[in-house]
Amino acid sequence: MQIRGCTTIITGASSGIGRSTAKAFADAGANVVVASRNKSKLEDLVAELAPLPVRAIPVDVTERLSVEALMRRASEEFGSIDVLVNNAGVGLFAPIADGNPDNARYLFDVNVWGAVNCVQAAVPYMRDQGSGHIVNVSSIAGHISPPYMGIYAATKHALAAISDALRNEVAEDRIGVTTIYPGLTQTSFTENMLQEVDAPSIPPLARWASSDSVARRIYQAVRWNLRDVYVSPEDIAAVIADAFAPAITDRVMRTFIQPGARREVTFKRKASPLREGSSETADS
């Protein structure tokens, strides 16, 4: 796909991978619509990228009407919807056996149903114009399920399954579908992850990718219509190791991923994505 002049919608664009992806597409000449619940951060990003054609539209991906309004406004503003990057997501570090089910449900609402809402709202526009590309940001956790991240991993497995089915369903409409699998990434995700038990520190030998490197891979995926995209050789090696030596992978994860103290925390649901500075947060 030719990136210059295309309209790209990026959810979860107020920070991290989404913010870097917005910069990558804007620098390449795309019309970029940045979307998240955090209106003030979106406006800061637009100001930073001015005078490039970047528009901020606050959205709550769990609300179908909010998502439909996002797509309608983007189409009216730029005349098409060419690329959708489903990046909005939240994290959860919690046990499965006795974790809070409300937190688990909310994680699926954002990470899975939020992406489905965006796909179902964007695909009619892409079908009408006879082209488009959808990127679902999964995770290495979409292949490997670490202890205490099983619910989060389940949402990322779900995104991968959705991508694989959707790719075949919309192939005749000339709509490409990519799943990207980032590993450890230098974003605020870990600090903002809801922790029902304290998460352990990452081993110092672990290699972190930058959000810019993930954004470059998203750009390449759209440009060349790639199917499954990984960010680093270490990510690929981890997936291969889990496939061929799962018992060793289990042992390593049990060794390095030990939970800390238990907490009583829940996700806070905001009533509207349009309020200044609103965001998904946790109540403790």
- The least confident of 187-191, 196-200, 236-240 is 187-191
Mean pLDDT of the chain: 91
In whole angstroms, give the CA distance from residue 177 to residue 226. 8
State what percent of residues in the chain have pLDDT above 70. Answer: 91
User: How many angstroms separate the CA atoms of 96 and 68, rounded?
Assistant: 33
pLDDT in tens, 220-229: 999 999 999 9
Residue 51 has φ and ψ, to the nearest 5°, of -95, 20
* DSSP H or E stretch at residue 251: helix 246-256
Banded pLDDT at 204 (limits 50, 70, 90): low
Question: At residue 273, does pLDDT exceed 90?
Answer: no
Residue 169: per-residue pLDDT:
98
- Residue 164: CB atoms within 10 Å: 15
**Complete domains list, the chain, with CATH:** 7-264 (3.40.50.720)
The residue assigned the tokens 């619910």 is: 151
Please say if the pLDDT value at position 208 is more than 90. Answer: no
Q: Which of 152, 181, 219, 230 is catalytic?
A: 152
| Whole-model pTM over 0.85 | yes
How far are the Cα atoms of 115, 134, 158 from residue 164, in angstroms, in the given order?
A: 14, 12, 10
Q: Is there a catalytic annotation at residue 181?
A: no
3-state class percentages of the chain: helix first, strand second, coil last, to nearest 5 = 45, 15, 35
Poorest-confidence range of 101-105, 130-134, 213-217, 269-273?
A: 269-273
Contact 178, 163 (CB under 8 A): yes
Distance CA 185, CA 207 (A): 9
Higher-scoring residue by pLDDT: 36, 190: 36
The pLDDT of residue 284: 27
Grouping H, G, I as helix, E, B as strand and the rest as coil, residue 137 is strand
pLDDT at 186: 76
Q: Please, which pLDDT band fits residue 278 given cuts at 50, 70 and 90?
A: very low
Distance, CA of 155 to CA of 243 (rounded, Å): 20
Convert the pLDDT of each residue in 78-128 to its tens digit: 999 999 999 999 999 999 999 999 999 999 999 999 999 999 999 999 999
- Mean pLDDT on 17-42: 96
Tens-digit pLDDT profile for residues 170-197: 999 999 999 999 988 876 566 678 999 9
Q: What is the pLDDT of residue 51?
A: 94
| Structure tokens that stand for 56 in this block | 């901020």
Single out the residue of 122, 151, 125 nearest to residue 139, CA to CA: 151
Give percent above pLDDT 90 in the chain: 83
pLDDT score recorded for residue 279: 41
